[in-house]
Structure 1
Amino acid sequence: MPFRFLDDIATADVAFEAWGKTREELFAAGADALLSTMVHDPEAVERREETVVTVEDTALDLLLFSFLQELVFLKDARRRLLHPEKVRIAEEGGRFRLESVLRGEKIDRQRHPLVVDVKAATLHRLRVACESGIWRAVVVLDV
């Protein structure tokens, strides 16, 4: 599990640190942390349906923010819980573009006991950096 929850950052929200050897692994770990925040047992979410998400931004931290916001939107608007299967990040012309293949299913409260309802990712203390060859992020979720 390439993430951990941080108890000392936000008292009314949920914070986590995620990491990976590549930017793509980091973003997948962030998506896993988001799913683990929302659902008691993320592995109970079956990978039945495929969803493709594309987001763009000018900075990696904002790209992560946009990606997580899209996952929260899909949970709220389409009632989908999603695992990241593939993440690809490209940089061109001063912009970053993320394309992600996600797999999951519609929320079933019998099989997916929800822990908290994540309303949004926040910009509070948002950070993405490469430290000693490991990509790391800190994210605070509004719950």
Structure 2
Amino acid sequence: MPFRFLEHIATADVAFESWGETLEELFVSSAAALLATMVHEPEQVLRSREVRIDLENEELDLLLFAFLNELVFLKDARGILLHGERVMITEQEGLLRLEALVRGERIDPSRHRFLVEVKAVTLHRLAVVNEGGQWRATVVLDV
């Protein structure tokens, strides 16, 4: 599992650390942690629907913030639970661009048992770093 929950960071919210060999793997791992925070068995969320996400930001941590908040928005606005499937991050003239393909399905209360309702990703302790050639992120979710 490319993430772990951090119980000592936030007592009223949920925090996790995610990692990957590449930035793209880090973003996919972070999406997996978000989904695992929300539903009991994220592997039960079918990958039958495809959504494309395009985002830009000058800061890497804020790009991750926007990506995860977009997944929360899609859950709330369209009723879709999503897996991070494929992410591509490029840089041009100091601007980071994310192109992501996410897959999932509409929320089905008979199959998707929610653990907590994630309201948003917070900026509290948000960090994206490269340590020893591995990308790591710390994320706190408002629940």
Aligned length: 143
1:4 has 2:4 as partner: yes
2: distance between equivalents of 1:104 and 1:13? 25
Secondary structure of 1:65's counterpart equals: helix
| Per-residue CA distance 1:73-111 (angstroms, 9 max, x = gap) | 000000000011110000111111111101100000110
Matched with 2:62 is 62
2: distance between equivalents of 1:13 and 1:95? 31
Matched with 1:140 is 140
Matched with 1:19 is 19
Secondary structure of 1:136's counterpart equals: strand
Matched with 1:78 is 78
2: distance between equivalents of 1:67 and 1:93? 21
2: distance between equivalents of 1:67 and 1:140? 14
> Which consecutive unaligned segments of at least 5 residues does structure 2 have?
none
Matched with 1:121 is 121
1: distance between equivalents of 2:94 and 2:15? 29
Secondary structure of 2:114's counterpart equals: coil
With the length of structure 2 as denominator, give the TM-score of the two structures.
Answer: 0.99
Runs of 4+ residues deviating >2 angstroms: none
Amino acid aligned to 1:129: V
2: distance between equivalents of 1:70 and 1:133? 27
| Per-residue CA distance 1:104-129 (angstroms, 9 max, x = gap) | 00000110000100000000000001
> Which consecutive unaligned segments of at least 5 residues does structure 1 have?
none
Matched with 2:50 is 50
Secondary structure of 1:61's counterpart equals: helix
**Superposition deviation, residue 40 in structure 1:** 0.3
1: distance between equivalents of 2:119 and 2:35? 13
Matched with 2:130 is 130
1: distance between equivalents of 2:78 and 2:10? 28
2: distance between equivalents of 1:114 and 1:44? 12
Matched with 2:100 is 100
| Per-residue CA distance 1:34-57 (angstroms, 9 max, x = gap) | 000000000110000100011111
Amino acid aligned to 1:93: E
Amino acid aligned to 2:59: A
